Amino acid sequence: MEPMVPAYGAGSLADVAPSLLAALGVPGTVDVLGFAPTRKVCLLLVDGLGWQLLNDHAADAPFLASLAAANRAITCGFPATTATSLASLGTGTPAGEHGVVGYSFAAGDELLNALRWHRHGVAEHVDLRPILIPEEVQPNPTVWQRAEAAGVAVRLVVPRVHERSGLSRAVLRGGHFRGTHALGDLVSRAVDAMREPGRVFCYAYHADLDAIGHVYGPGSDAWRWQLRFVDHLAASLAGDLPPDSTLVVTADHGMVAATDKIDIDAEERLREGVRLLGGEARVRHVYTLDGAVEDVRANWTAVLGDRAWIATREEAADNGWFGPRVSDRVRERIGDLVVAAKDSLSMIRSASEPHIGGFLGQHGSLTAQEQLVPLLIR
């Protein structure tokens, strides 16, 4: 089984927004995904809507399935997790350049939970925004800033609680927030934005399919009901958008059922020589003590066998996991070892991550189920 290395520059989530900027006529941008020229774009990102899951449950999503039949999948990027994918979408670059290299990773002396921007793996939630300033952790310009500089109105239709969050400050800079509470005002605010005069780029985000997949498992009854609601959401948007607009639906990652669990906190060999442990259950950043990389690799290989791909930082970078280029600023955030799960393996931590360890659905790795996401155009 070979890892699915993302198709950076030809078919990854990092290519979506720059290609849409080109379709909107923003100078200096290149469309590598084949969008038709347009004056208005509504980009709906459905958290956790994997390409294979959509096809497996097409009967529950007739509208999205009809679009899938005429469109294609792209790769989300690595790690296949929300914080990294939203950074890739928002900057138009892979993780090796924007630096949000996972759900949690070492940033200076801290282990940063990038989704919540607090200290990871501790019971007390410590807000790291004053210490790890989001605009400095991710300093690259965003696609939203580029669009606004070119005269495109950018509207961000995202949950109200995300406004001014650390991740939003890092990767959504440049747009105007239109905070939402539920599906109803997501549709209403997106449609209102698309009816504004001139060129418009509206980004809308829906999180609940991913949440249901984590708790009940992808493909469960609860997940299928949520997929039906998402399908109605997308169809409602398509039905109310102005005729001179384009609807694009994509996702940040897929998901697998986590049936093969190994508890790092209960396996002493997986902790020997380890200084810090980041990432999440399907992909781990392993930061080792000085001189311990090969010993730690041997221990993890002995315990996991062929259930995971285990690469050094240099091997992962050279193999293009984090993109064609890994900047010096970003390189030190990647684990000395990067461990990416195969099949249904879940590398949980019962003591330090009890909530995550109980999830029935997980994501993050280099399998097709996690990497492939829809790129649906209407």
User: What is the CATH number for 329?
Assistant: 3.30.1360.180
30 with 156, same domain: the answer is yes
In angstroms, the CA 202 to CA 269 distance is 49
Closest Cα to residue 176, out of 149, 152, 148, 154? 154
CATH number at residue 151: 3.40.720.10
| Structural domain contains residue 60 | yes
Residue 125 pLDDT exceeds 90: no
24 inside domain: yes
Q: Are residues 266 and 354 in the same domain?
A: yes
Same domain, 232 and 334: no
In a shared domain, residues 169 and 238: yes
Distance CA 102, CA 279 (A): 6
Where residue 9 falls (left for φ over 0; alpha for ψ -120 to 50; beta otherwise) is left
Query: What average pLDDT does this structure show over 53-80?
Result: 98
Residue 123 has pLDDT above 90, yes or no: no
Which residues lie below 8 Å from residue 294, measured CB to CB, with a gap of 6+? none
Q: Is the pTM of this model over 0.85?
A: yes
Could you tell me the residue range of the domain that residue 329 belongs to?
260-361
* Section 23-30 average pLDDT: 97
User: What is the average pLDDT value for the chain, to the nearest integer?
Assistant: 97
Query: Same structural domain for residues 112 and 230?
Result: yes
In this model, does residue 5 exceed pLDDT 90? yes
pLDDT value at residue 378: 95
Judged by DSSP in three states, 55 sits in helix
All residues at 6 or more sequence positions from 87 whose CB lies less than 8 Å from its CB, including other chains:
95, 98, 99, 100, 114, 138, 167, 170, 171
pLDDT at 330 over 90: yes
Give how many domains the chain has, as a whole number: 2
pLDDT of residue 14: 98
Domain-embedded: residue 275: yes
pLDDT score, position 124: 82
**What are 277-314's pLDDT values in tens digits?**
999 999 999 999 999 999 999 999 999 999 999 999 99
- The average pLDDT across 16-44 equals 97
Q: Give the pLDDT band (50/70/90) at residue 1.
A: confident
| Angle 92-38-247 from CA coordinates, rounded to 5° | 70
Q: What is the average per-residue pLDDT within 134-152?
A: 98
Portion of the chain with pLDDT greater than 90, in percent: 98
Same domain, 188 and 264: no
Q: Are residues 284 and 243 in the same domain?
A: no
Q: CA–CA separation, 303 vs 300, rounded Å?
A: 5
pLDDT above 90 (res 246) = yes
* Contact between residue 367 and residue 256 where contact means Cβ atoms under 8 Å apart: yes
Q: Is a pLDDT exceeding 90 seen at residue 10?
A: yes
Q: Are residues 147 and 291 in the same domain?
A: no
Coil, strand, or helix at residue 367?
coil
What distance, in Å, lies between the first and last C-alpha atoms of the chain?
A: 35
Same domain, 121 and 195: yes
Query: Per-residue pLDDT for 225 more than 90?
Result: yes
Residue 206: per-residue pLDDT: 98
- 337 within domain boundaries: yes
Q: Is residue 46 domain-shared with residue 141, that is, in the same domain?
A: yes
